[in-house]
Amino acid sequence: MRTLLLVLLSVTGVFGQSEPASYPVTAKDPKNARDYPGGRGEHQLIIYTSAYGRRSTGTNQWGVEATVRNDVVVAFGGNDSPLRPGEYVLSGHGRARQFLLNTIRIGAKITADDSSVTVRFDAESFRIYTAMRLAELRKKFTALSRQFPDEQRSALAASLDAFGQFLKDSAMAGTGPVDSSVYAAGMALMDGLEYRISLSPSVEGRGVWHRPVERSGEEIERLVRTYAEAGFNMMFVETIWRGETIYPGFITRQKPQFAGFDPLRAYIDAGKRHGVEIHAWIHTFFVGYVGAADDSGTGPILTKHPDWAIVKRNGENVSRAEAGYLFVNPGHPDAQDLIASLYREVRTLYPDIAGMQLDYIRYPVGVPLEESSDYSARSREAFKAVSGTDPMDIDPITAPEKWEEWRRWRQQVVTDFVKRIRWENPETLLSADIFPDIEEAHRTKMQRWDEWANKGYVNVLAPMAYTVNADWVAESIVRMRSVVGESFPLYVGLAPYMKLTPSMLLQQIERCRELKADGIILFATSSLSAEQLRLLAAGPFRTRAVPPRLLQRTIKP
């Protein structure tokens, strides 16, 4: 290992590109903080300085930020970064976030003005970065060393010593640029060492969401075996989406690509052979999509029952906040009956399914006001019958109490449906994908997941803690625990799809463990590379684990 490290650092020049990389600046110290958190909008790159007038950037979890001092990156990762004299923060969302993830590490050199940011990562930057990583790895090893077996502890100590010697011996090494593959090899070595310095519990839910593309039992067998060998013990298989099933059923249409085949049965059987629980991941009220995807269309449910479609305040059916999404009205009794029958069908046809997962168990995103729903004649009449008010006549600014009554009515619609699924499937383990920010869940999605947990309507909550920021993941868990208590099962959803670096993903997994989450679920198989699976198998998932035994709770009235 030491010889390879010496070669790597002696020739490493640039970070993954032959030339510096640039991106246009949207604004410096923006003034529109009321429009977006921190004033950072979609795909924007913002520069924040101490002149911004706030203690931190105020941004949300959907981006990434780098703190720069003396034109060198000194911190990189999360959002809402502190603003200190002598420093500035680069903050990116969407494509700008991806630019920062692709180009920046601690030690990167920054040239910035009001129009653009340019990033350079040279040999000096790489040495700064590797020295920082080494210090972090030594600190981590010291904290965990007593929990490793003697042989593993000795091997890790030797690797760290070799890494330290590598830095010393290369202090006078050359600085010429080389092919980016050399940089990649050096990063892979550091990532591999960091993953090896991690614990691996024997009881833990280790899940992954998966949209089926396999067309044969052999393909499914290979997939399930691959994830079992990587240490996973749960797979949440997308079973019903866009109003269609992957299995041959009797209520709605089977997806045409699976005609003549029963993938769900093949997943369940392969899971039994490899020790992987198979859960049916079900889209509940989201039933169609109008956009560029191959399966774009209103779907069989809304094609047959167009009057079930949700109606926004502006009279449209298609969501703009969630571009192209089509929902059924969660309060339409006939729509409820059909969707509930699909849950019963899965449970009846596949009694050996490990569980069913309620996804999109909510209204569409309801902000701004014109995106709020449902304003169909049926919902308006039903609410008016109990409140005396047509919701179209409610202004949330001038009549906040009435608006809250309208919101609570819709929340109860969703909660009553969750309760129904529980009652109709009393022996089935139920999990629910939810938004971890309880205020956002209540206000914009009509999800009262606190009530679902406290009344035993679901067995597990799966908060979608999608961010690059491990601190935000941790804060979300702490806030949820304050609501549902320390014992209610949480399987925390993490987001490799956001192009997390290996180090970022590991940090998030470890924060989940520190805060006693019962498991994690990664979104999704399509975003996990063979290298990432190898790292998980060598590190935090190296010990074979069983999911926690989740007991059914008595339903409260």
Q: How does pLDDT run across 512-555, given as a tens digit for each residue?
A: 999 999 999 999 999 999 999 999 999 999 999 999 987 544 44
Domain contains 553 = no
Q: 324 with 259, same domain?
A: yes
- 321: helix, coil or strand? coil
Q: 357 with 246, same domain?
A: yes
Instruction: Judge whether 371 and 312 are in contact, CB under 8 Å.
Output: yes
Compute, in degrees rounded to 10, the torsion defined by CA atoms 289, 290, 293, 296: 70
Give CA angle at 7 (134, 194), nearest 5°. Answer: 30
- 63: helix, coil or strand? strand
Q: Which residue from 284, 253, 229 is spatially nearest to 414, judged by alpha carbons? A: 284
| Integer Cα distance of 406 and 408 in angstroms | 5
| Integer Cα distance of 96 and 25 in angstroms | 9
Domain contains 11 = no
| Integer Cα distance of 273 and 393 in angstroms | 58
The two beta strands, 325-327 and 205-210, are unpaired
CATH code for the domain of 367: 3.20.20.80
Domain contains 352 = yes
Q: 53 with 78, same domain?
A: yes
46 residue type, one letter? I
The string of pLDDT tens digits covering residues 149-181 is 999 999 999 988 887 877 676 553 444 443 455
Instruction: Report in angstroms the alpha-carbon separations of 135 from 67, 93, 128.
Output: 19, 30, 11
Q: 110 with 139, same domain?
A: no
Q: Running DSSP on this structure, what letter comes out for residue 314?
A: T
Which residue among 83, 99, 120 closes a domain?
Answer: 120
Can you list the positions of beta strands (E) in 152-276?
205-210, 234-241, 244-245
Residue 491, judged by CB atoms within 10 A of its CB (0-12, 13-18, 19+), counts as buried
Q: 468 with 496, same domain?
A: yes
Which residues of the chain fall below pLDDT 50? 2-4, 6-18, 172-179, 552-557
| Integer Cα distance of 544 and 465 in angstroms | 25
Q: 136 with 115, same domain?
A: no
Domain contains 116 = yes
| Integer Cα distance of 130 and 99 in angstroms | 21
- 436: helix, coil or strand? coil
Q: 76 with 93, same domain?
A: yes
Q: Which residue from 248, 242, 360, 246 is spatially nearest to 295, judged by alpha carbons? A: 242
Q: 279 with 251, same domain?
A: yes
Q: 422 with 533, same domain?
A: yes
Q: 169 with 214, same domain?
A: no
Instruction: Report in angstroms the alpha-carbon separations of 162 from 11, 167, 206.
Output: 18, 9, 32
Domain contains 126 = no
**pLDDT at residue 51 in the model:** 92
Residue 63 CB neighbour total at 10 angstroms: 27
**pLDDT at residue 529 in the model:** 94
Q: 65 with 110, same domain?
A: yes
Which residue among 169, 196, 223 closes a domain?
Answer: 196
**pLDDT at residue 189 in the model:** 83
| Integer Cα distance of 319 and 321 in angstroms | 6
Instruction: Judge whether 370 and 313 are in contact, CB under 8 Å.
Output: yes
**pLDDT at residue 122 in the model:** 80
Domain contains 305 = yes
Taking the model in full, what pTM does it have?
0.90
Which residue among 156, 178, 196 closes a domain?
Answer: 196
**pLDDT at residue 174 in the model:** 46
**pLDDT at residue 188 in the model:** 82
469 residue type, one letter? N
Q: 310 with 342, same domain?
A: yes
Residue 145 CB neighbour total at 10 angstroms: 13
**pLDDT at residue 164 in the model:** 80
Residue 337, judged by CB atoms within 10 A of its CB (0-12, 13-18, 19+), counts as exposed
309 residue type, one letter? A
**pLDDT at residue 27 in the model:** 93
Q: Which residue from 281, 249, 283 is spatially nearest to 267, judged by alpha carbons? A: 281
| Structural domain count, the chain | 3
Instruction: Judge whether 324 and 288 are in contact, CB under 8 Å.
Output: no
Range(s) of the domain holding residue 319: 205-538
Domain contains 125 = no
Domain contains 493 = yes
| Integer Cα distance of 270 and 264 in angstroms | 10
